[in-house]
A = this chain, B = another copy of it.
Amino acid sequence: MKHGVSPDTFPPRSHEAKRVSVVDAAASVFCREGYAGANIDLIAAEAGVSRQTVYNHHGDKEKLFVAVVHDLTERCNAGIFATIASFPDQPTDLEADLIAFAVRMNRNCICNRDGRFLRKLIQAEGERYPELFAEWREQGPGRTWSALAARFARLAFAGHLAIGDPDVAARQFLALVNAELQITFMLGGMPTEEEVLRSATNGVRTFLSAFARKKSPAGKQAALVHA
């Protein structure tokens, strides 16, 4: 049963499962109630463990908070880079490909549980723990924007886009495809699949109006000569 593999080096089995369960419950409660309002008893109850177990695993409330942020940051960054890797390198239909990419990014990274929780914790506690979120800032948005900019630069080089500054274009792309979700994000809500699609479609269309190569009438095919 269990998980199939069972390495003999690790003494505890359900031990780690409980740790994850506590961190997940803590993330939920910290987000819902704020750091000061979060109650260890409530976290323990929501994780299905006793209060003492929470203390056994994480020491105190502040260490638990740090563990939550680290876990969320790690999972979110992994998701973001997996999604970035799906960016259309050799687009057949640039508009459709960018829309699909934007929808994936929103669904899997920005609107999912981890993404919404991490964003709220950053907004609420970022000023109080500047060093804690420095890692997020560098590993998350910093590398995301950079990676996205590199992809845009590649598309520009291949003749699909006419871009001045790829970094600016990357930030504006993300801003545009999220333009219609701002209010929902602010109130911590979860946009519907349809809202995500609409925002992405409108955003990509505007993005391409601004940055699609317009000069050559048959430019779309011309770029393929390089391949």
Interface residues in A202-216 (C-beta closer than 8 Å to B): 202-203, 206-207, 209-211
- A202 CB, min distance to chain B CBs, angstroms: 5
A101 CB–B CB distance under 8 Å: no
A17 CB–B CB distance under 8 Å: no
A182 CB–B CB distance under 8 Å: yes
- A204 CB, min distance to chain B CBs, angstroms: 11
**Chain B: CB-nearest residue to A134:** B187
A194 CB–B CB distance under 8 Å: no
- A104 CB, min distance to chain B CBs, angstroms: 19
* Residues in B neighbouring A219, C-beta threshold 8 A: none
B183 near A137: Cβ-Cβ < 8 Å = yes
A37 CB–B CB distance under 8 Å: yes
B126 near A186: Cβ-Cβ < 8 Å = yes
A32 CB–B CB distance under 8 Å: yes
A106 CB–B CB distance under 8 Å: no
Indicate how many identical chains form the complex: 2
Interface residues in A23-77 (C-beta closer than 8 Å to B): 32-37
A123 CB–B CB distance under 8 Å: yes
B183 near A141: Cβ-Cβ < 8 Å = yes
CA distance in complex: A126, B120 (Å): 11
Interface residues in A82-136 (C-beta closer than 8 Å to B): 119-120, 122-124, 126-127, 130, 133
A202 near B33: Cβ-Cβ < 8 Å = no
* Residues in B neighbouring A196, C-beta threshold 8 A: none
B171 near A180: Cβ-Cβ < 8 Å = yes
A168 CB–B CB distance under 8 Å: yes
Chain A residues with a Cβ under 8 A of chain B: 32-37, 119-120, 122-124, 126-127, 130, 133, 137, 141, 165, 168, 171-172, 174-176, 178-180, 182-183, 186-188, 202-203, 206-207, 209-211
